[in-house]
Structure formats: structure tokens, C-alpha cells
Structure 1
Amino acid sequence: MAWSLIFVVAIILITLCFYTTHSRAGRLMSKLPGPKGWPIVGTAFQFLASPEVVFIKLREDYKKFKSLTSYYSFGFGFVNIYDPEDIEILLSASRFNYKFIPYTFFRSWLGEGLLVSNGSKWHQRRKLLTSAFHFNILKKYASSFVEYTENLLNKIETQTSNERTDVVPLLSNATLRIMCQTAMGISMDQVAESEKKKYFEAIYTVGECIVRRLCRIWYYSSFVYNRTDLGKAEAKALVNLHAFTNRVIRERKTYLEDKNELGISESDENTSTKGRLAMLDLLLQCEKEGSIDLNGIREEVDTFMFEGHDTTAMALSFFVMRIANEPEIQENMYEELKTIFQGSDRLPTMDDLNDMKYLECCIKESLRLYPSVPFIARYLKEDVVLSGYTVPKGVGCHIHIYDLHHNEDIYPEPEKFIPERFLPENVLKRHRYAFIPFSAGPRNCIGQKFAFLEMKTVISGLLRKFKIEPVTKTDEVVLTADVVLRSTHPLYVKFRNRK
């Protein structure tokens, strides 16, 4: 038996070696720039490191190879993309919209929700959910943004005597509450802190597991991965994630059934215009009509609970840390707010939020420096020419948004915080795919307007009431490879009352 197994393994390795060197795809991949690898195993061992080291390694490869970078191992090929011309080719055409690895690693968590699904299922879900983020629905959400911003400000008030405050847990809690209240229609007031803590920890665990799996090609097999300590840790975390979202769905469904408010009505509290419902209510309505089942609802709730709160929380956290280190820019934002509110303590309106032009430039500059999703991926089902090279079908293309946003040819002095980069006249000078914090093209982020309104509301509230002083310096931040951009250490600031 042992000799038979050795023989089978040898045949597989010889076949892989032949494929990577003599097949058409192998020959095309060999012409692409990238680090040199070993026979068969290719470049796999270059990423057997901590997430922090992997993040640095990716940045080094970008600076070394610039246009694109290829990696290969055990018959799998990947290409990292950084150029806006190449990115437009991939993101603007529906034929390049297919998602495979690493999105397949999310399926045990998100099923085939909007982030992961392909083809007709993605089209059906995208069309279904678009109305839940219509402008009239967003106007309805704005009051909740304001309400929960006020709650956040009251919590920060208790922190003003502290010499440092970690903003990540503070803002994560706030964005989770906002997402639950708006898109899901339930309150987090009755949820125990221990339960929310389990949910947050589970998200971090699953994200780390997915990244580590992506860096270890032998874990691509679910049969192997599910039997490892890493796979078991993910499975344990998923129990807490699904328990939380199941509770959200169950509570809202029970509420609507008890109040008999599931029908679409002009007067419904969660309906702004006939035919437009908040997200979870819309999904429950579709379940009643038979166009989605309970499992499909959970797929989308899991997806939006994660993407709707975690990405925004990290975007806000990096923003707050950064502007604490940019006192002049912080003061300019405050002056704009004083002009808009004329010294009044009144709550912001939609018109007020739209008038915050300089603050919007600052948000965009922060998203340039710290894109919440540092890379996205597509799977090629046909050959494509990128940066003058033919990339063969069957290859995964990783679009590194972080490197695109730090390209010094597009953004001179890329590490500096310069909001004026996003004044309209300067935006017009750049490639339209040079800034894509919410992706772009047909599969762009469905909730980007939601996120922008939320961020404007929270940040304007913070700046009107508090002066933010630095504790964590920008050069102390150590970024790490994850599904969402994170820092390995807390992001500390000081909050001081302006009055």
C-alpha cells in the first residue's frame, strides 16, 4: 500500500510539473513578471508567514514588479493587478465578473449571498436588493444614523478624562447597532455585551482563518482544511456568527408577524415609497411570495451584517486615528461645520450632509490611504491581455486596491494626507478606476451611499463636539493581511470636549 501511494503521489507531482512548465497556461504564466519559485510548489512557501509579514511581502512585490505580479503553485496561478487600465478591463466587463478563490472560502459563512454568488443567482439577488438602498430609503435611515451618533457621542463623553481611547471597539459597536436598526429593523439594546463580543471575535477569527487558508495552497481542499486546527477554529466561530444572524432574522420576523406589517404599504414604518422596503423586511416579503427561502435570507443577512458594519467601522477607526494626527485638516473640517450649522446645536439634515464637501474629500483621502477592503478578486474564464501580457484563463486575478491607492505616479507623496486630491477639478485629471474603495463596475458595493452617509453623520457629530488628539502615531500603525484592512495594535486617540 505504501509503495502504491508513493507511486500515485509521484505521478501527480510529475503531471503538475509538466503542466506548470509545458502546458499553454504554464508557458504563458512563465512569461509574466513575478518572484521565482521552485518546481511544482512554485511560490507557495513565500507566504508561510504571519499576516503582518504577508502584508509587507505583497507591498514589496508591488514596488519591485509594478505592472503586475504572478504567483503559481501546484497547478494554481494568480496574478496581482495594480494598474487602473488593467483594473478597468476586469471590473467594467460582465464577462470578467466571475468569483472563485478566495470567495469560495466564505461559503461556509456567507453561503451564496451577494458577495460570493455568480451568474443568474447574483443577478437575481442584486436586482432584488437594489431597491433596499434607494435614495428614499437612505433618507429614512438618516434619522437612525443621527440617533445612534448621539448615543456614540454620549459614550465618548465618558472617555474624555482618559488619556487614550481605543476607537476600534467603540466604532464597531456603533456601526453594528446602526446596521441592525436600519437595514435589519431590530434594536441591539436588549443584546448582551457578551453576545456582541462573541460576534466581533468570531468575525476576526474567520477573517484570519480565510487569509491563512489562502496562503496555504494545500488547505484549498475542504476535505483537508476542515480537519486542521484552523478549519476547526473557523467552524467554532461560525456557530456564533450564524447564531447572531439567526436571532436578528427571528426577532424581526416575529415582530412583523405580530404587528401584521409584512405587506407593502405607503404608511409602513419601514417603507419610504410604495414598493421599497428596508432590506430584511424586503427579504421576508420575498420569502412570503416564494422568491427566496429562509436559507437565502440568512445568506444575505450574514453578508450585509459583516460588510455593512465591519468595513465601515474600520474606515471610521482609521479616519479618526489619522485626523488626530492632522490637526490643521481637522480644524478645517470643523470650520466647515461651523459655517454649515452657524453655531447651532441642531441635528444634521440630509442637506447639511450634502454640504459637507471638504469633509467628504477627507473621507475619500482616508479611504485612499486605508481602503477597508484592500484587495478583491476575479477568476478568468477566458484569456485577457493586461499590461501587455496575455494572462491565460483559469487564473485568479487579485486587484490590490491598497497598492493602486498608494501609486506615487497617480498620487504624488502617497503617504501624505491631502484631501484636495479629491476636489472635482483634481478628480477629473485621474483615471476613473484610480480610486475604487467600493470596487467599481457592475459588481460595485451596493451599500456605498449608505456607508458614506453613515460616515459623514458620525464624523461630523464627533468633530462638532470633540477635539481629537493623537496617541497612536501614523508611523506606528502596523497593517495586516485580512479580508478587511486592520491594524495589529489598537488605534488610540484622546477625545477632548470643544466647550
Structure 2
Amino acid sequence: MGIKWHQRRKLLTSAFHFNILKQFSHTIIEQTEGLLGFVQAELGSPRTDLVPIITKATLRIMCETSMGTSLREGTESKKYFSALHTIGYCIVNRMIRPWLYPDGIFYLSAFWRMEKSALKYLHNFTNQVIQERKFCKATNEKVNDGSEVHGQKKKQAFLDLLLVNERDNKIDENGIREEVDTFMFEGHDTTAMALCFMIMRIANESIVQNSILEELQRIFGNDSHRQVTFEDLCEMKYLECCIKESLRLYPSVPFIARHINEDVTLGGYRVPAGTICQINVFDIHRDEAVYPDPERFMPERFLNGKRHPYAYIPFSAGPRNCIGMKFAMMELKVVMCGLLRRFRLEPVTRPADVRFTGDLVLRAAHPLYVRFVSRDSSSSDC
């Protein structure tokens, strides 16, 4: 497994090169406009449930960037979304039921039947997209070189980069499907929950919200129609600190596991090789010795703060850290920029009232509500 991971990691690193991320940013900006339009329609409502609308937006972004396709509204998007969450549901239920650990017993359970059905749908969908993408290449409709097809410029997609490596015999079709499925599964849900928690928290932090808006106004000036650029995102230093602070309090992946390959001493105890070590990211981020007043939302912690490199690990750390970290940060910036330039966030759900529930990603047990209020006509949007 380690050899396979190492080969894939080396192969995929190029997919997150600066120039590739810059191309992906155009798709994220375009999809964010769709989200802003939906939020606009919510104006006047006393509260908006964040999870459904944000999840739908991040799923569209991941479909466009990872597979170069759009999920049609209605049955298709609902089936895809449902299948993704069925997989997570089955995995979590197996994790908390030790008697289901042996494959022979798990394969007799209802969870396996649910998981098998969901996997079949997801694999069929991804395989169909792969074949369609290959057909485009075979018919000389180039999808990845910036050329125009039928008068329209084709968008870069993660899948296209994998297909190039297949041609060079560096990955096979099953490997391509595995990576696209992983990117889809891990990419849309984690970012969606990160956005939901951040929007809820910023709505409750009026001073912080005003400070973000001041930074955005310094970047965009009085031009109310200029679209955000990749270069603009690099200037959003305070917004980035706010994102980091939100991920500290609400890490999308609240725990991670590592297989220890050699004996190690932790806290005076010898942990033998072969042990699976569970790392509680949620609690690490609330360590008072590292983060004084840990429940307080203080973006300034990340302006000049110096701390142990492993004291802040929302994307894990070391060689196996999240390969999509820069992509996720870019997406978080674009969406938050768009929302805050066009709307004022007003609190409905209070941070003290949030209760968490067990899942593969950090989720609230109840809906996360905010109220969106349109800013005056002089405000701009991304």
C-alpha cells in the first residue's frame, strides 16, 4: 500500500502545480456566481440552512474541476449526492461496530449491501465520464490544451491530467477512476462543511466580518463589477487568517490515523511498530497551552504566531498531508469573498449552540442557519 501511495503521490503532485490551480480558479469563480444567485433568491428569509446550498455548490465545483462535467439539477445530482453520503454512512457504522471488522461478517450485513449498491452507481458514473472524455480526445476535440472546440474554450479538468498519464502508461483506467472518485468524495464534503462552519461563525463575529470587508475593499476599490482574479486571492491575507482560525475550531477532518512503522515513544510510553495511532485533530486545536482562550475566534493568531508545526493540522502534516490543500484554500477564499462582498451575514445559529455528530467529516447535529442581507448598491461581488 505504501508503494502504491508513493507512486500515485508522485504522479499527482503535478496536478496541483501553480499554473494548474490558476486554471481551476476560473471554474471555481464561475460556479461561485451560481451560488451567489441562489443566495440572492433567499434574501428576505429570516434564516437560511447553509448545508444544502453550500454542499450543492461544492459538489458542482468538484464535478467541473475533477471530471470536467456538470451534474444536471434534479435526479442525477440527488442520486450522486446520496450515493456519496451512503458510502460515508456505511464506513462510519462499520468503524463503530467491531464485530463488522472481519470482511466475512461485514459482507453479510445490510451496510455492505447499501455500500455495494452506492459504489456500483458511483463507479458506473465515473467510468462513463472517463469514456466520454477519451472519446473527445480520440475525435480530436482537445479538452486540455486551451484550444477551442465548437467556438468554446474547453476547461481544464483533473481527469484530463490523469488521461495524459494513462497514455504514458503511468496509470491504468482503474487507477484513474480511483483517483477521480477520491478527489470527488474527499473534496466536496470537507470543503462544504468548512464553509458552513465559517459562514456561521463569521455571522457571529461582526468585528471580524467588518475587517474582512475592509480588506476586500482595499483590493477591489470602488469597482463593483470587477471579477476576482487569481492574483487578488494572494492579497487576501486577513481572510486567509480567518479561514485558518475557522479550520482550527472546526477542522473538516476531526481525526486522522497513522500506521506506525517503527517503535516510538509518546508521552513517556513506548508505542510499538505496527500500531495504528489515532490523532485527535479537534482536541489538538483546542490545546490551551498552544491557543490561549481556545474557544475564542481570533484570526490574529495566524498573523505572526509561531507554534509547533504539528499543533495546527487541519490538512494533516508530513509526507501524507492533504495534496489538495492549496486547492481547498483557493475555493474557500473565492466563495467567502463572493458572499461577503455581496451580502452581510447575520447570526441565527450561535456557536455555543452547535452540537457535533460522528461522521467521516465534522458535522453539526442540527442545521446551521444564518441570515443573508444584501449590501448597498455600492458593494461589489466576486
Same structural fold, with TM-score higher than 0.5 when normalized by the shorter chain: yes
1:278, 1:400 → 2: CA distance?
34
285-294 or 164-173, which moves further after superposition? Answer: 285-294
Identity of aligned residues (%): 57
The one-letter amino acid of 2:172's match is D
In the superposition, the TM-score normalised over structure 1's length comes to 0.71
Cα deviation code 1:12-66 (max 9, x no counterpart): xxxxxxxxxxxxxxxxxxxxxxxxxxxxxxxxxxxxxxxxxxxxxxxxxxxxxxx
Q: Secondary structure at the match of 2:139?
A: helix
Q: Deviation at 1:316?
A: 0.7
Unaligned runs of 5+ in 2: 150-155, 377-382
Query: Shift of residue 278 of structure 1?
Result: 4.3
For the 8 Å contact 1:314–1:485, the answer to whether it is kept is yes
Cα offset, 1:166, TM superposition: 1.3
1:442 aligns with 2:319: yes
Q: What's the C-alpha RMSD, in Å, of the aligned pairs?
A: 1.8
Note closer, same or farther for the CA distance 1:344–1:302 as it changes in structure 2 (3 Å cut): same
Tell me: CA distance 1:323–1:269, structure 2 relative to 1, closer, same or farther (3 Å).
farther
The reply on whether 1:294 has 2:177 as its aligned counterpart is: no
Once residues 270 and 45 of structure 2 are traced to their aligned partners in structure 1, the CA distance between those partners, rounded to angstroms, is 57
What's the secondary structure of 1:495's corresponding residue?
A: strand
Query: Using a 3 Å threshold, how does the CA distance of structure 1 residues 475 and 401 change in structure 2: closer, same or farther?
Result: same
Letter in 2 for 1:286: N
Q: Deviations over 1:300-338 (max 9, x none)?
A: 011001112111111111111111111221111111111
1:131 matched to 2:14: yes
The residue number in structure 2 matching 1:456 is 333
Provide the TM-score with structure 2 as the length reference. 0.92
Q: Is the 8 A contact 2:249 2:286 kept in 1?
A: yes
Equivalent in the alignment of 2:239: 359
Q: Which moved more, 1:336-345 or 1:462-471?
A: 336-345
- Give the aligned partner of residue 493 of structure 1: 370
What is aligned with 2:137? 256
Residue 316 (structure 1) aligned with residue 195 (structure 2): yes
Q: Distance in 1 between matches of 2:37 and 2:228?
A: 17
Three-state SS of the structure 2 residue aligned to 1:441 is coil
Aligned residue identity for 1:171: I
Helix, strand or coil for the counterpart of 2:258? strand
2:67 is matched with 184
**Counterpart amino acid of 1:130?**
T
1:67-125 Cα deviation digits (max 9, x unpaired): xxxxxxxxxxxxxxxxxxxxxxxxxxxxxxxxxxxxxxxxxxxxxxxxxxx32211111
Report 1:217-256 matches (<5 A): 217-256=98-137
- Relative to structure 1, the CA distance from residue 329 to residue 186 in structure 2 (aligned partners, 3 Å threshold; closer, same or farther) is same
8 Å Cα contact 1:137/1:278 also seen in 2 = no
Instruction: State the shift of 1:239 in Å.
Output: 2.7
* Aligned partner letter, 1:230: F
- Spell out, residue by residue over 1:363-410, the C-alpha distance to the aligned partner (whole angstroms, 9 max, x if none): 000000010111111122332111111012232101111111111111
Q: How many residues align?
A: 369
> Max radius of gyration: which structure?
1
Divergent runs of 4+, >6 A? none
1:128-207 correspondence to structure 2 within 5 Å: 128-188=11-71, 191-207=72-88
Provide closer, same or farther for how the CA distance between residues 471 and 248 of structure 1 changes in structure 2, counting only shifts above 3 A: farther
Letter of the 2:170 partner, please give it. Answer: S
Say whether the 8 Å CA contact 2:55–2:188 is kept in structure 1: yes
What SS does the corresponding residue of 1:397 show, helix, strand or coil?
strand
For 2:79, give the aligned amino acid: K
Amino acid at match of 2:336: I
Q: Please tell me the residue identity of whatever aligns with 1:238.
A: L
* SS of structure 2 residue aligned to 1:435: coil
Q: Secondary structure at the residue paired with 1:442?
A: coil
Deviation at 1:236, TM superposition (A): 2.6
1:186/1:251 contact within 8 Å kept: no
The answer to whether the 8 Å contact 1:471/1:492 transfers is: yes
1:418-443 CA distance string (max 9 Å, x none): 111111x21x2x11111111111111
Contact 2:66–2:180 under 8 Å retained in 1: no
| Other-structure match for 1:471 | 348
Q: Matched residues in 2 for 1:251 and 1:493: separation?
A: 40
Local SS of the residue matching 2:42: coil
Contact kept? 1:129, 1:279, Cα under 8 Å? no
What are the residue-to-residue correspondences of 1:256-405 with 2, within 5 Å? 256-261=137-142, 267-268=146-147, 278-345=157-224, 346-405=226-285
Change in 2 beyond 3 A, CA 1:124/1:269: farther
Deviations 1:440-478 (A, max 9, x none): 111111111111111101100100000111122212211
Aligned residue in 1 for 2:380: none
Check the 8 A contact 1:144/1:181 in 2, yes or no.
yes
Name the amino acid aligned to 1:245.
T
